[in-house]
């Protein structure tokens, strides 16, 4: 199975050599250093867990768990790092300028009164018109 891996890959050859060197000088019960695990997980992500585990003589389950942990930590970092936005549209469903209300009241003599209201409800407009049209004794 190791023969299906590209043996010309320098990273694979370097990792295999580093693991062999570590194994030759390690104390009994010593754990594989983190940098070697990191290199192995990068290779497993590229070539597959089973092939790399056989080629580097590593435990399949340990390599699989470390690869999953590396992938989840990368995903967590990607979620926590805000990505710059090129364009953000904010649509609140409101017009850009408030609607203006223009009242033009005129009497039979030709006199006119123009009232501009920035925002007014129809009940406000009706009350203003009534109060202006009422004649006072």
Model pLDDT for residues 19-40, shown as the tens digit of each residue: 999 999 998 889 999 999 999 9
Q: Could you tell me if residue 92 is inside a domain? A: no
Angle in degrees, CA 116, 122, 126, rounded to 5 = 80
In the predicted model, what is the mean pLDDT of residues 57-61?
93
- The DSSP 8-state label assigned to residue 102 in this structure reads E
Shared domain check, 64 and 11: yes
Main-chain phi, psi angles of 43, to 5 degrees: -65, -40
Number of structural domains in the chain: 2
Shared domain check, 25 and 70: yes
Q: Could you tell me if residue 122 is inside a domain? A: yes
pTM: 0.51
> What pLDDT was estimated at residue 33?
92
Beta bridge partners of 4: none
- The DSSP 8-state label assigned to residue 64 in this structure reads H
Shared domain check, 109 and 68: no
Question: Range of 114's domain?
Answer: 101-133
> What pLDDT was estimated at residue 1?
43
Shared domain check, 76 and 22: yes
SS3 87: coil
């Amino acid at each position: 199975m190791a023969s299906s891996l590209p043996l010309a890959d320098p990273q694979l050859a370097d990792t295999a050599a580093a693991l062999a060197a570590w194994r030759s000088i390690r104390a009994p019960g010593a754990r594989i250093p983190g940098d070697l695990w990191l290199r192995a997980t990068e290779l497993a992500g590229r070539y597959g867990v089973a092939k790399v585990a056989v080629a580097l003589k590593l435990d399949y389950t340990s390599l699989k768990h470390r690869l999953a942990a590396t992938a989840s930590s990368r995903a967590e970092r990607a979620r926590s790092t805000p990505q710059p936005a090129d364009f953000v549209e904010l649509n609140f469903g409101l017009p850009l300028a408030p609607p203006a209300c223009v009242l033009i009241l005129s009497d039979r003599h030709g006199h006119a009164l123009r009232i501009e209201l920035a925002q007014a409800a129809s009940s406000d407009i009706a009350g203003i018109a009534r109060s202006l049209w009422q004649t006072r004794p």
